[in-house]
């Protein structure tokens, strides 16, 4: 379930005689596939002392050959990161008597990306579901961030803007990014919820030890309901969709912008006079122009001009309300367990990491 964690491992309890020996892990020589390390420093009387190691851990790449990132808990991911850092430091020659003193209590979580996988019967259904999410996001006025992957979209509440008619300072979604990833020819949609350090501290989730009972406390369901369903306003009182901003309208082009402005005032878009009519079949030209405009406007603003705006403003997509629900862990088939970072395989992976450390 956890795709990525950034952990901070405090070292100051080891004492200055050890801290002066800690190398610069940020030079890249100690990085592993799926694991990047950085050493943090302080200077006392002109001498540099390491204070902590920060580790970016992408799962399951860090502990297994690359495969679909299912993962297990944030706690397990942080534990894996701790073991990988101890292995990296042991390889540089630091005494194990000191490294054995680094435990879970010295690890905090600075960022976590939690993956929820929603399966569908067919790839087309998964693709359409992602499009519906995007259209709803556009209607709500969420910020859409560019992504290098064509299949992925990232959404967040933008500070200083309005979100469904509310000032962002009054929302609980600052520090949350929701990414929706549809991979072509697959029948599932991956939803990644990334929580930043401020969000984790706000909920007292920054210490790794606080994630040990995450499943027992239904934390992953809580995060899904609050971050995914919450940011999409699928629960609670209906929120009025705001009218598109001038910037959003301008990207439609002059003709479609004028059509949408008239639609927002209550005019029937099928009667729009700006469609290019070509005799002799004026009615056919009108229908073609309307269908083209409807598609462009829907893709770029999330507004479906086939129904009146006043009615549309207070609607939720029924399909999202019913199907965008907490899916639980996506469990691999038994034959795939040995090749996955999952709950069933986690004890084996942890023993493997510990054995690697012991054999250095």
- Lowest average pLDDT, out of 3-17, 291-305, 331-345, goes to 331-345
Confidence of residue 159 (pLDDT cuts 50, 70, 90): low
The model's pLDDT over 222-272, given as tens digits with 9 standing for 90+, comes to: 999 999 999 898 998 887 888 888 888 888 999 999 999 999 999 988 888
pLDDT confidence of 277, banded at 50, 70, 90? Answer: low
* Six token digits for residue 151: 């299949």
CA distances from 129 to 142, 190, 229, 296 (A): 18, 11, 14, 18
Which pLDDT does position 359 carry in this prediction?
94
pLDDT in tens, 30-70: 777 789 999 999 998 888 899 999 999 988 777 776 566 66
* DSSP assignments along 176-217, one per residue: EEEEEEE-TT-SEEEEEEEE-HHHHHHTT--BGGGGTTTTTT
| This prediction's pTM | 0.86
Residue 173 has pLDDT above 90, yes or no: no
**pLDDT band at residue 164, thresholds of 50, 70 and 90?**
very low
pLDDT at position 71 over 80: no
Residue of higher predicted confidence among 1 and 101: 101
In angstroms, the CA 283 to CA 249 distance is 27
What's the token pair of residue 181?
A: 């990833």
Distance of alpha carbon 236 from its chain centroid, rounded?
23
What does pLDDT average to over the chain? 86
């Amino acid at each position: 379930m956890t795709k990525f964690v950034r952990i901070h491992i405090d070292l100051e309890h080891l004492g200055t005689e050890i801290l002066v020996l800690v190398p610069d892990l940020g030079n890249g020589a100690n990085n592993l596939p799926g694991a990047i390390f950085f050493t943090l420093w302080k200077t006392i009387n002109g001498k540099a002392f390491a204070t902590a190691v920060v580790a970016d851990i992408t799962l399951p790449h860090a502990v297994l050959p690359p495969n679909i990132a299912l993962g297990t808990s944030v706690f397990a991911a942080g534990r894996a990161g701790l073991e990988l850092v101890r292995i990296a430091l042991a390889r540089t020659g630091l005494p194990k008597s000191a490294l054995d003193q680094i435990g879970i209590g010295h690890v905090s979580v600075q960022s976590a990306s939690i993956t929820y996988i929603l399966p569908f019967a067919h790839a087309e259904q998964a693709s359409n579901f992602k499009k519906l999410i995007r259209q709803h996001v556009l209607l709500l006025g969420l910020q859409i961030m560019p992504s290098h992957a064509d299949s992925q979209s990232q959404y967040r509440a933008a500070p200083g803007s309005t979100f469904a008619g509310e000032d962002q300072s009054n929302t609980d979604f600052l520090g949350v990014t929701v990414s929706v990833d549809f991979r072509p020819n697959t029948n599932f949609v991956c939803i990644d919820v990334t929580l930043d350090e401020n969000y984790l501290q706000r909920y007292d989730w920054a210490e790794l030890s606080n994630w040990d009972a995450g499943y027992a406390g239904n934390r992953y369901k809580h995060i899904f309901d609050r971050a995914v369903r919450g940011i999409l306003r699928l629960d609670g009182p209906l929120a009025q969709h705001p009218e598109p901003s001038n910037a959003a309208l301008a990207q439609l082009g002059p003709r479609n912008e004028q059509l949408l402005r008239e639609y927002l005032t209550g005019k029937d878009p099928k009667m729009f006079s700006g469609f290019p009519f070509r005799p002799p079949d004026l009615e056919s030209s009108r229908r073609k122009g309307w269908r083209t405009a409807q598609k462009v406007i829907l893709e770029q603003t999330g507004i479906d001009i086939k129904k009146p705006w006043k009615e549309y403003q207070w609607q939720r997509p029924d399909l999202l309300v019913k199907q965008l629900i907490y899916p639980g862990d996506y469990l691999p088939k038994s034959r795939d367990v040995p090749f996955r970072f999952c709950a069933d395989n986690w004890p084996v992976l942890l023993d493997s990491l510990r054995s690697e450390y012991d054999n250095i």
